[in-house]
Chain A
């Protein structure tokens, strides 16, 4: 072999080897072994997040009938692709290993599985025996069709108004605040205010943890070089405080004095918006006896009432320095600034909740910081459909759909007409509100406890009711009381249930929610519920049908048809039979029926099909001349709200005083019902944490969230801890006049309460802080105050 041929052979062999190596490195077989983009077999669809009232949209990734991934929805106006840690893990909420999968009936200390058929019969038996002693306890997590069906079943079917939701515990005072001020519920502004405001004031609010996506919407503006002045008016340092330029710490309950102090200075310095007040406002004060809408007042009386609230006087009550009160008044007195106020449970879970809500609206009205993008008093909600299902569908003991009232004869007649019911079917007397409902249920029948069967859907009162010992635990000894609980997991409530019904959760069913900014959001069922779990809405309709089949008159409309009769092409679809429930889109049917109720208060909803296309639409959604549907971002403002008359600028068209004016209220500061004393020297505040949602039944089953905050704790001030001789992590006893719990102390933890106050989150079902809280509530909203009661703290080892 010559050197040349040798070299040629070698080169050819090299060339072939190189080519072959490349061939194998990337052959189709090799490609198949390293999978293609992993989600090529995943189907994605939109849904609003299952958790809070922000109403973020998520994209849900489904494979083989299971949720496998979640992504922020980039097309969603609410969150623009961002989520919080709960939202990112919302899909895991479906997959706790202890999902309830079959109806369970109590037998002594144990539950035995029964059929749905038998379960429905048992409920029908209880209701049939005494329809007036039946009560329905619902939720701001009910979808709109679920709440609407329950509402129709109770008020339109049984003629029984004992239906109330857990939202009574979380936003009832916001509702009464809106009603007393504007004559109609829900915020006028929207989340765009957060993009436009120069000043954001947090009134006892911690959105960094409770509404993180909205909070980021504001603080991320700074990263883009914008100036936003963030003021935290609070009773303890929180994560939100860390982002605030000013932290004004006040003594619990004294926010009333602060609001009055600001109004006092606006008037005294004449920096209020005289034109806005003259054109758009009226004055209101409390009547005797006290009523929600009080009595008409005058500007002069208002000025006089506020006279005592000098900055120094306010400082003496609230502990906020007089100069800081002046600073707040300076801001509100500056017409050039755009000021948004945010609040949530701090102002709502308040024995003067209606008052403080009205006062903060009042400051915005008085100063004219209203009705322009960035100028808004904005109340946030904690549940995904507290607005949609509770406030709009009116699943409250005193309300009817579309902002109507049980006590109003015209409203009842309108509902009877829309539901095709015989006149007089709807009872004129409001039913029991939450605290009263549970008190009656936990009181022996022979002592006036006239609720004996209670059906709970989509909520966990065994953990969230205040003073649990009185309002829940006492049920245990009452043999003739029957508690029905529809839920997805065993909870603190199912512990005392007589009948447990397994429910479908979130994307296991069709649904519609309504968020904090009047946005109605629709989603489709994407996966099957586990085992025999079924939609809550179906459960209600199936019970109604059982009663109808037994001949109960209330389940018939005035033509004798079933209340929930559903036809397709003229033929009835038996939606009460689970096998046929999804033969039609029941959500769509109920929603279209409900839409007719929404026009009265100008909360117009678009047809269901519009919501299928959109990432939610904010009401009023009004049809345009070209047939399209337009949402409304700013209510009462002519530039955006189609219901404001031309040339009016601002028009409060549901005014209490019937003159297109909003009401500026005066409410005096008064001491709260329980204050710390020598025996119980600490303030107790309860609340939430970022990682857990409300009672944690879902989030505590999500490893990433449960590992982040595995158990409840008590936040102690470092000086208090030193005085008590308590070190970090040491078990202490938190005790009130009503109950006690044992918790680990966390000093300099996530939040830092001032001396003399402690904080305990309520998510932990093993540490029920509501055994300690007080059931005292606001006189108008009936919402309890979970934010303050008096406790004492002891080292456990000192016992």
Chain B
């Protein structure tokens, strides 16, 4: 009896497995069909550079729904902004699921998941200089067949250069960027200091002097109520690279991308970062610990900040509530040095293992060409576009001609002020994430020479694996 029931049980399990296999294979078939339909839809939308589907031409079929995942950073206000709804107007069958995380966690997710061969996320943000590293690891799908020559020519050349590796275009640029000095005009007036004009460029020495005068500790508890100055992205390499390069332009790593000793711990770097550390320690004009510079500025607790053009949007959105006037001017530089500004920004890449290639490419194409570029600035207004035509549109659009929106013109003008890209080397991820820990240490009181010497050793230890 027992053996009979066991046989029955085995039979049932086998039947169940067969049914599951059939259902799964049916699903697999659907997915393939999905991709074909998406390919057709993309063809219709772009009319070039895409494969055609003859069968679908003969009998137009309704595209089947497909959902792609987009790994992105959590501080982008995309949800409910209306941006994706613009995309859905053109691609109603594609749903974009956002997977938002912090920047560093996103780097890890790309390394672990995409590097491990996972098919999702289908699309992910690429910090422009990481294109080389991702390209070396084969994590990105080439996008050369996605864009027309005209669309490629519309990007700033530096954006195309940094998005390419090994002769292939691997990451399409969303942004380019720069940094400007934002100041609280009322605080300047109260301190009797004349702020810099919109087309004026202060030196870091002038900033230091003004910051000391603008820092106010009313109750004398050692914690100022108003801080004089801070960087918006306090410890990020993107924002801080111009400091040492202003003193000695323009090397941040050796030409072969393998050594940093003697460069990042050279005299000019130590001098620049000793000054940086003094802001938080000896001078006490900038706060230590986990804080948000932009929030302190908006709440009237920060007199000056060096920040990106996206802050124009954030400030304009709440300007009525601030209760103070503010202004913008050019990126500072060291008195004995030269003008150097940061540039480049986020790109979009398609996971080399995606199973929804056509839909992913359609999203990347739409996002990083003119319609998407304008929609992005209209709805999200995060940084400046990497497309020249979109920035020209911003420069001439009437809605952006009034203050404070016209501040964006100052930022667009700054794009030509000796912009320096971050080094597009294969070990950029190691380089940037490690050097930022040294910046954090210096900010928290570590000696600049000691911190930079140690991190040079650390970085070279990581880069050694790329040695031929």
Q: Do the two chains bind? A: no
Residues on B close to A: CB < 8 A?
Answer: none
